[in-house]
Chains A and B, each alone.
Chain A
């Protein structure tokens, strides 16, 4: 069984095509792995029966020599995606038991390409958080352990997705990234994560957090696997008005393009107080690797970088406060009975939303309210334009940008913080890409002094995921990152 878990997605797809392995065997292995790692709480709901059904159908197709891009490959789905007939709760009490009758476009794409759904993955409630500690279903434990077996966070909000791929309880997983929710957990868990260009993947059927920032993306063990999954997920959707009608490059080919002649920007502003020195070292190492592979390094400046986080923490909560207004107990989800409609709303939402979500709704409501809209919301939108302009300027001279993914490695579960802002700082390197709508990829590149994974981030031009895959593959090849977490299925726990 554990041998099966060793197959990467591309490998497994080939093995399935060659009928060396069956989809049902593969699905069973992952279902068992999920059970083995259950204490890490990756999954909020397993869909084992459905998985085996889908795997059997994949085997039937494969036997005929047919099959989609990811035929028979086990996929975990972040519980933010609506999956028809299966509870989709955004890991919130307010959507307890909500079972959509409809499928998100991204997951529909995956099933159409033959993906097999293993289960719904844990995440921060309504995607708000960077440690997967706000989920109604309890925190996710990173399969990588800290000193003396300390429990660590997997990052968030797609903590369950990243942890599952790292622990091999999923071969591939979907995530969403609004301020770093794919890239930061990818770094903390030592896996590959991509936030596509805004508009690449449809938002239809994904519980909305911040509509102008949210983007679905793939988690995988390696860059080539990621390209395969991205190819299956992405595409124009007329049900989403923000969906981009721009043809996707062949990413599975792009992976092998190399970086000869590519200009890589190194932004001077991507440093931070309290950054792990190992991160700085790794960033330098990444630059050396790319140079050795034929890329040219260019010092660039993104002057408004430090303002990205505060701008994000105005814009995202503002949009969220409005997007979450529909959770009111009237048409679905939790309802707390009361004598009047207003009381019902107030009690339902107080009981249904966790603290972090309530906090962000309050901030969002405040910054949009009369008298504050100009000073906060409009101001943040203006700064957003400046941040985007910074990128437009540098992309005239470079093809991609290399930065650290996170200021530190994964930290301890239940870390006490004095104020919420400390947690926000986890996203300092990832947020600018969301504000500017750019694609960003994180590739695991090394371990820190405590043996915890660190990632490097590549940022690209709008709709140029191909360049990220090419450069990402070079980083992966150069890094030779083969470490796996102690908490992985089949390993010693």
Chain B
């Protein structure tokens, strides 16, 4: 599948890199003991260090360091046992210190790789350049008052992981797949909750276009996209905008742009006379961060199984389709549910039931897997009844619907409602004979060449049996009787 975009004057290749900011899951902030949780009243989760009062000093939270290492390990990346915190100096109302503590030259995590899963079932590796820890900024509100802005520092100092990809993506779909997989891995690891609406995960998108085979074009950066849809919209808009400019003979300005969620377009940030000169230098209030090989190994040993590894097992050992495997492994809870439900059973059948019936019911009802009354054991029980022929797949759907509402076991529902499949060939033959006898004219038409009528007969038998006749047997016996 080609990712090339055709313009008026020929094809263009899209080049995308992503910088994702992921809020670290931790109780306290990166360099202060204030709470890192979301949703408090303004300026409640603020320590004097966060507010940058005179004489205040940063002290690093060990858990944030561990979370960054876990994430690096999850991205199969190099962990740098020594890293340095630098100050990124600039002035803004939500940045009390007048600098952000970040990592510039020596980040805690180096190169890694992220495998993205595409719609057609294929997968591709996207390179990770680095991951570093840094402070989040506060929140400014500019629309509460005509001439004033209001500042809340609750978010100031919360730990962020900035994850920088190599410019390896070639379409908006790949970019979305990247964020989806990254989010999945972060949630598996428990290092970030990936809640994009609340802002725990946001992406800056770097987009450029070029003629296939040529050097990279000039890129623009569009900041703070907090949904997969916005990411794709922003990319699509930028690509179209840039192609139009270039085909008209113009040049792309290297700049930072903002995405307007209501119009789906990007616009230049108000131009500044001076580009930011951040004057990075090592933060003299902090010493080099040193972690031991032992600590890294211990963290590695304790990692949960990650989505790609589970997915490989699902497609390799259990024979699931890449699509099903990707859906099941996107969330850890789902993968665990699947393992339990499918253990010792028909893996593919269970997968099918999860991805179609179970997810369908969850979507419709708005429930989560955790709330759901159909436990992995119960789902497994239902599949057992299909596998051993007690009920047909068709009947099983009704049984499932009952189980979903009532929380009963499959066997109990089948028993109560008398839904056992009729697989007694004698009984089926009787029913078939009855149907044939009652529809002599149609039988004649069928035998005369109207093959389509076969379905009619099947339907009649199923109707007579209340849906419980074993469909396979019905087919077999009916054919025998009709075709002679």
Contact = CB atoms under 8 A, between A and B. Distances in A.
Contacts of A86: none
Interface string B38-54: 00000000001001111
Interface in A346-380: 365, 368-370, 373, 377
Nearest to B90: A325
A241 B287 contact: yes
Contacts of B147: 339
Given A212-B284, A341-B149, A373-B281, A207 B89 contact: no
Interface string B224-259: 000000000000000000000000000000000000
A275 interface: no
B54 A210 contact: no
Contacts of A242: 284-287
Contact of A100 (B52, B53, B97): B53
Contacts of B457: none
A370 B279 CA distance: 7
B65 to A, nearest CB: 13
B279 A373 contact: yes
B81 interface: no
Nearest to B151: A330
Contacts of A341: 93, 149
A33 interface: no
Given A242-B285, A325-B99, A203 B57 contact: yes
Interface SS of chain B: loop
Contact of A322 (B55, B277, B281): B281
A212 B282 CA distance: 11
Of B48, B54, B91, B280, chain A has the most CB atoms within 10 Å of the CB of B54
Contact of A331 (B51, B58, B284): B51
B53 A368 contact: no
A82 B56 CA distance: 10
A326 interface: yes
Given A326-B97, A331-B51, A341-B93, A241 B281 contact: no
A328 B55 contact: no
B362 interface: no
B89 A239 contact: no
Given A212-B284, A330-B96, A341-B149, A365 B279 contact: yes
A345 interface: yes
B151 to A, nearest CB: 7
Contacts of A211: 284-285
A373 B71 CA distance: 32
B166 to A, nearest CB: 24
A377 B97 CA distance: 21
A366 to B, nearest CB: 9
Given A104-B55, A239-B57, A319 B284 contact: yes
B98 interface: yes
A90 B56 CA distance: 14
B140 to A, nearest CB: 9
Interface in B416-448: none
- Which of A101, A204, A325, A341 has the most chain B CB within a 10 Å cutoff? A325
B53 A204 contact: no
Interface string B90-110: 010100111100000000000
B60 interface: yes
B482 interface: no
B93 A369 contact: no
Contacts of B57: 203-204, 239-241
B87 interface: yes
Contact of A368 (B55, B89, B284): B89
Nearest to A368: B279
Given A204-B55, A205-B55, A328 B277 contact: no
B98 A326 contact: yes
A98 B55 CA distance: 13
Nearest to A238: B59
A206 B279 contact: no
A193 B52 CA distance: 30
A360 to B, nearest CB: 15
B87 A322 contact: yes
A206 B285 CA distance: 13
Nearest to B85: A241
Nearest to B94: A330
A333 to B, nearest CB: 9
A388 B57 CA distance: 25
Nearest to B52: A326
A453 B87 CA distance: 43
A373 B99 CA distance: 17
A331 B287 CA distance: 28
4 shortest interchain CB distances as A-B pairs: A325-B98, A368-B279, A211-B284, A212-B284
Interface of A: 81-82, 88, 90, 95, 98, 100-102, 104, 203-208, 210-212, 238-242, 318-319, 321-322, 324-326, 328, 330-332, 339, 341-342, 345, 365, 368-370, 373, 377
Interface of B: 48, 51-60, 87, 89, 91, 93, 96-99, 147, 149, 151, 277, 279-281, 284-287
8 contacts: A90-B54, A102-B48, A207-B55, A241-B57, A319-B284, A328-B98, A365-B279, A373-B281
Given A82-B55, A98-B54, A205-B55, 7 more contacts: A88-B54, A90-B54, A100-B54, A204-B55, A207-B54, A240-B59, A322-B99
